[in-house]
Amino acid sequence: MSTTSGVERLYTKGRARKILVILSAFIALLTTVVVSVSLGSASPGFMEATQVILSRIFPFAGIDPGSKIAQTIILDLRLPRIVLAIIAGAGLAASGAAMQGVLRNPLVSPYILGISSAAGFGAALAIALGIGVVVQYEGYIVVANAFIFSMLAMLMVYGIARLRGIAPESVILAGVAVGYLFSAMLSLVQYIAPEWAAVHAVVFWLLGGLSTAKWENILIVLPLVLVAIPLLMRHSWDMNVMSSGEEVAMSLGVNPRRVVVICMVLGSLVTASIISFTGVIGFIGLISPHLARMIIGSDHRFLLPCCTVIGACLLLASDTVARTVMPPVEFPVGIITSLLGVPFFIYILLSRRRQSWG
Amino acid sequence: MKKTTAVVSVIIIVLVIVALAYTTYRFYVPSETGPQKETVTIVDATGVNVEVKVPVERIVCLSNGLTEIICVLGGEDRIVGRDSTSRFPPSILEEPVVGKSSRNADLELMLELEPDLVFSDLMMPSELREKIENAGVPVIVENANDPERVKIFIQNMGLVIGGEEKAGEIIDYIESYENVVRERVGSLTLNEKPLVYFEWGVGWSCGAGTVLHENIVDAGGINIATEETIPYPILSPEYVVENNPDIILVSISGATGELVAFQNAKDEILSRSGFSEVKAVKEGRVYIYDSQVGLGVRYIVGLLYKAKCFHPSLFEDIDPTAIHEQLVQEFFGIELEGVFMYP
């Protein structure tokens, strides 16, 4: 009797602590948002930003909406970028965590599984062979192509893995192979494409960036991410069970193959839709799940939400640094993500004794 | 029987030897007894003294701006190989391509063409230059984007391929229009000059010290990236919006003269988040030009176009497109086709 309640108490305590961790991560994200909206190459700072945003939220409160330029900078430039950073960070991190979870492998990320290379290839193809030979082109064809090819990569990975029987290692091997295939084809396009297209493909698609953020694009990505992340979270218990092995999962009524397929499809869908607009941002999807796991443990019910918030926070912080470190010049966000993420990762790795895997 | 075979064999062998000796003699003698070539020394854009035996008969040119200059000076029939960006004048398309650009030109393809001289822009890797030179072919590296270097190159080419008179004519032509621009914008005060945001490639602008920046200044504009020390910085969109430029100027490359390329480039600028508040967009002063009219002989067309965009009232009498047509007709002897500036 007393032992049961002891275990229960321990469980409740652990649960409360984990919820607290997620809450603090969320508060960190909110703080980053406030900092990010107040910083930039242009002059509007915290006060103007607050003023502009409050006047928009409470249109009848009679708050002075600020100058037209301040409004444009806050509402059309900083906010969409912040929102896209949050969506992209959250989506990539959640996909990474789910993929690592179902495939039971810490090295998995959408990048490893070839989805990013495929998107890059699709984009490069559209840029190089796109309608009219122009440097600045209608972006949506490129986006659509990136999306189609990443879905194609996912189908290939799935097809190959299915022929071998969907075991985690066959999915990863198929992913790595498909990834190399698309990387090779991307290099080929870069090699045979006209100089300007190659430059564009390399610089934008391979470095990735959020500077082209627009509300219109967000309206396309946001619904997908908003639907997919809760769907992934619904399978967090299955992921927990699967970590004990396939037999255990089956004996507990979980069909591991079905879970693998669902999570892989959702993860690819989210990744593809995000990187279609941002270019390849690789690191977030790999590192956020590890950070979350080291902080909160490997119970996917807490890991997934925590990882989502950490991913959003990390990408937003990186992008804010990227656009403010040397104003008015912008840095590629990929550089900053690694420069910020890796030391943080090493710190967490060294300061936690807990074994995250196994 | 055996004897006959031996005799026939000997005769055949002798004939073969004679034939070989004769061929060798035929191919060997002309270069020995041909006219002694004169050597001129050219200092190229990298400061290297390049010794060239003139007249040069076989040229490989790996830069579109330089190709145009060589063609203007009447050297088109001496060009035996080009890079893929050398597409003007259109008749040059018949010559074989030895690489996408000077950055990755194929050494074997080049040497196979037995050139006397290779021209390249600054993108050529120094190892490649070394390899070509080691094969006994001199390399001249020149910067067709820099108006001053263009004039020097035209003069040098007058020496290398002949046509010094023509070289003088072209330089006079360019300078006459440079003077027109200088006279009209030279006396303008800072307040009378428009703020300009310039963009090319994937969104690069141009910092102080770049030729592109000098171009904007020469045309009577103020570059909003003047303070930047990075040559080609990507400016934060909010910086552009806050600076509220009067003019947005975009250089596109790879266009093939179709209007749609320019329209797309303009639409892309107009559709950017927040740009609807920028003065240049509000007042319809977003201008797109083909990078071809920013380099080589035709750089002057680009300069006039920029000056007219910046100061329409001062350049009312100047029609850059008409001048472009005239230049191409006069110096290339062909009719100009396609769009190069929009609007």
pLDDT tens for A248-266 read 888 888 888 888 888 888 8
pLDDT over 50 (residue B95): yes
> Is the model more confident about A167 or about B231?
B231
pLDDT over 60 (residue A138): no
pLDDT over 90 (residue A274): no
CATH class of A22-351: mainly alpha
Tell me the ipTM for this assembly: 0.75
Tell me, yes or no, if B203 comes closer than 8 A to chain A by beta carbon: yes
pLDDT for the residue B59: 92
Chain B neighbors of A199, CB-CB under 8 A: 201-202
Chain A neighbors of B258, CB-CB under 8 A: 132-133
The full set of domain ranges for chain A reads 22-351
pLDDT for the residue B102: 87
**Per-residue pLDDT band at A135 (split at 50, 70, 90):** very low
Chain B neighbors of A204, CB-CB under 8 A: 202
Tell me, yes or no, if B265 comes closer than 8 A to chain A by beta carbon: yes
Q: Check A138 against B203: CB less than 8 A apart.
A: no
Least confident window among A202-206, B13-17, B179-183: A202-206
Chain B neighbors of A320, CB-CB under 8 A: none
Q: Check B235 against A330: CB less than 8 A apart.
A: yes
pLDDT for the residue A358: 42
Nearest CA in chain A to B226: A328
If phi > 0 it is left, if psi is from -120 to 50 it is alpha, else beta; for residue B288 that is beta
Nearest CA in chain A to B260: A132
Least confident window among B4-8, B19-23, B160-164: B19-23
pLDDT over 80 (residue A10): no
- Angle (CA) B63-B341-A198 rounded to 5° is 45
pLDDT over 90 (residue B288): yes
Q: CA A351 to CA A141: how far, in whole Å?
A: 47
Taking any CB pair shorter than 8 Å as contact, residues of chain A touching chain B are: 40-43, 68-69, 72-73, 76-78, 80, 132-139, 191, 194-197, 199-200, 203-204, 211-215, 323, 327-330
pLDDT tens for A290-313 read 889 888 888 899 999 999 999 999
**Per-residue pLDDT band at B254 (split at 50, 70, 90):** confident
pLDDT over 50 (residue B57): yes
**Per-residue pLDDT band at B33 (split at 50, 70, 90):** very low
